[in-house]
Amino acid sequence: MAKILCVIFILVTSVHDCEGDLRFASYYGDHMVLQKSPESAVLWGYGPEGDQLTVTLSGPLQQKSAMVNVTKGIWRVTLDPVEAGGPYNVTAAVQSSTVTLTDVLFGDIWLCGGQSNMWLQTSKIFNASEELDLAAKYPHVRTFMAALKLSETEQTDLIEVELPWSVPPENVAEFSAVCWLFGRYLYKTLQYPIGLVESCWGGTPVEAWSSSRALKQCGLQQTNSGPKVNSVLWNSMIHPLLNMTIKGAIWYQGEANADYHQEQYSCSFPAMIDDWRMAFHQGSGGQTALNFPFGFVQLSTYEKGSESDSFPNIRWHQTADRGFVPNPRMHKTFMAVALDLPDATSPFGTIHPRDKQDVAYRLTLGARAVAYNEKDVSFQGPFPKIIHSAHEFINITYDQKVSVTPSKDVFEICCAGIQTPCGPQSSWVPAPIMHWGPTTVQLSTSLCQLTDKVAALRYAWRDWPCDFKACPIYSASGILPAPPFITNRSQIKGN
């Protein structure tokens, strides 16, 4: 009888503590992926207080025992490391009952977070029907999605599950396109199971996903409202996941900070990454790496012809104002540059470009290089190594070979007297590309008046700097766009 009441209780209130009944936490389920070796998977759930519990893994047989906590009715075990593979069953048993997870695979777990561009479903992107047809060929890339819930306090478990662990093609249409494609492309190189955990919410600023610890680092203690309140999504959609062992995370967010605490984003974003790393490491009892790889998408485009520099500023702040990652402030990170993928006719608004394939592919290159240490995988677009100013020219030497399409105005210079600093309000004029070599680009500075000196240089410093895949500078392969940059006088030699 107690059990029947409990089931009814669960149906009515969704995932909630149902004391005494043996079960796994909300995000463990049939068809799931658990983190493979060398890390160990952590499993936890609820059970009759004080009972002795045993967890058994079929296949590479192992058993772990634990006591269900007397006061909280929670149990937790850490398996020995398991190599990639499956399907296996995982059974938890107490004296009076057992629960089994079937069709469990071991592989790498990636968490996918952010706002609406991460949330945008596979059914909405370019070539959606082809993508959905292909999905059936990837039954070892499994998906899970947390429901959109907020909380004023840190939750132990998810308040609700939106999509349980699923075997493609089931639920792929409703699943994040960037997350799905990232997993599918990764699977192509790794050839072992990938578990994708989507936990994101449209229109939300980084503050909502950050713990109070992280916000304090950046002096961000004010609050907002709804899902924008500090820490409300950290509390409900991230904190509950901390105990699961993960391989890494990808993130697509920043639009909501273009006009909200924009200047603090170079602090708040890296601070959130640091804090997630510390918290996942702790929550998993040391299984999730303390410096787990964190990939993100640099903002794409929003308003064609916009004079606003809020998107350029956020793109820059996404790199902690360095222009590229990884860098000394942001270790073990990778970035997909996306400002060359505008979509002027997106039915979901121009802020939601539908080419998610290139975004995910670029992220995968970063993951292969940074997370999987594959040598010889290029993942960063060209970045200036030396900037030289002389006479009527600026010479840029890049850190790699470049593929150049001449442009009149994607490079810009700020001309100012020697003592005058350059800011957003300064007069920026185009610096057309005149010549180029395998690793160099020469710009004309003739639009500076004779008495002025070039005080600063910037590249693609516009919300919408180029047409689709038509920015001036790419890697020699033509695949990786140069990220935007801005330099001041001190970084320009010969001035």
Ligand X SMILES: *[C@@H]1O[C@H](CO)[C@@H](O)[C@H](O)[C@H]1NC(C)=O
CB nearer to ligand X: pick between 285 and 424: 285
Closest alpha carbon to 272 in 306, 249, 255: 249
Among 24, 27, 28, 44, binds ligand X (CB under 6 A): 44
Least Å distance, CB 397 to ligand X, is 8
74 binds ligand X (CB under 6 A): yes
Burial class (CB in 10 A: 0-12, 13-18, 19+), 490: exposed
Among 26, 264, 357, 407, binds ligand X (CB under 6 A): 357
71 binds ligand X (CB under 6 A): yes
Strand pairing category for 453-459 and 485-488: antiparallel
Region near ligand X per CB under 6 A, out of 30-38, 226-234, 295-303, 437-445: 437-445
Region near ligand X per CB under 6 A, out of 11-19, 72-80, 217-225, 227-235: 72-80
Closest alpha carbon to 54 in 43, 65, 69: 65
248 binds ligand X (CB under 6 A): no
78 binds ligand X (CB under 6 A): no
Distances (CA, A) of 477 to 269, 312, 382, 405, 470: 31, 25, 11, 13, 14
72 binds ligand X (CB under 6 A): yes
Single-letter residue type at 146: A
Q: Tokens for 436, please give them.
A: 């180029």
Region near ligand X per CB under 6 A, out of 64-72, 201-209, 325-333, 463-471: 64-72
69 binds ligand X (CB under 6 A): yes
Binding pattern for the stretch 312-351 against ligand X, x by CB under 6 A and - elsewhere? ----------------------------------------
User: Beta-carbon neighbour count of residue 467 at 10 Å?
Assistant: 11
Among 435, 467, 477, 488, binds ligand X (CB under 6 A): 435
* Positions in 161-220 near ligand X (CB under 6 A): none
CB nearer to ligand X: pick between 154 and 409: 154
Q: Tokens for 207, please give them.
A: 């503050």
* Residues touching ligand X, count (CB under 6 A): 30
Among 282, 449, 477, 488, binds ligand X (CB under 6 A): 282
Query: Is the CB of residue 282 less than 8 Å from the CB of residue 276?
Result: no
Region near ligand X per CB under 6 A, out of 203-211, 368-376, 389-397, 419-427: 389-397
Region near ligand X per CB under 6 A, out of 138-146, 307-315, 390-398, 443-451: 390-398
Query: Is the CB of residue 282 less than 8 Å from the CB of residue 154?
Result: no
Region near ligand X per CB under 6 A, out of 202-210, 270-278, 376-384, 385-393: 385-393
In the numeric block, the tokens 């850190």 are attached to 399
Q: How far apart are CA 242 and CA 230, in angstroms?
A: 18
In the numeric block, the tokens 């030289």 are attached to 388
Q: Is 326 helix (H, G, I), strand (E, B) or coil?
A: coil
Least Å distance, CB 443 to ligand X, is 10
Q: Is 216 helix (H, G, I), strand (E, B) or coil?
A: helix
Least Å distance, CB 70 to ligand X, is 6
CB nearer to ligand X: pick between 405 and 442: 442
Checking 217-226 for CB contacts under 8 A at 24+ apart, the result is 217/267, 217/268, 217/271, 217/275, 218/264, 218/267, 218/268, 218/271, 219/264, 220/261, 220/264, 220/268, 224/260, 226/150
CB nearer to ligand X: pick between 12 and 70: 70
Q: How far apart are CA 144 and CA 105, in angstroms?
A: 14
384 binds ligand X (CB under 6 A): no
CB nearer to ligand X: pick between 56 and 378: 56
Among 14, 56, 97, 102, binds ligand X (CB under 6 A): 102
Among 89, 151, 327, 487, binds ligand X (CB under 6 A): 89
Closest alpha carbon to 350 in 358, 342, 338, 360: 342
Query: Is the CB of residue 29 less than 8 Å from the CB of residue 104?
Result: no
CB nearer to ligand X: pick between 123 and 440: 440
Among 198, 355, 412, 463, binds ligand X (CB under 6 A): 355
Among 217, 400, 442, 491, binds ligand X (CB under 6 A): 442
DSSP letters of 344-397?
TT-TT-TTS-S-HHHHHHHHHHHIIIIIS--TT---S---EEEEEEETTEEEEE
88 binds ligand X (CB under 6 A): yes
390 binds ligand X (CB under 6 A): yes
127 binds ligand X (CB under 6 A): yes
Binding-site ranges for ligand X (CB under 6 A): 44, 58-59, 69, 71-72, 74, 76, 88-89, 100, 102, 126-127, 156, 242-243, 282-283, 355, 357, 388, 390, 393, 395, 435, 437, 440, 442, 494
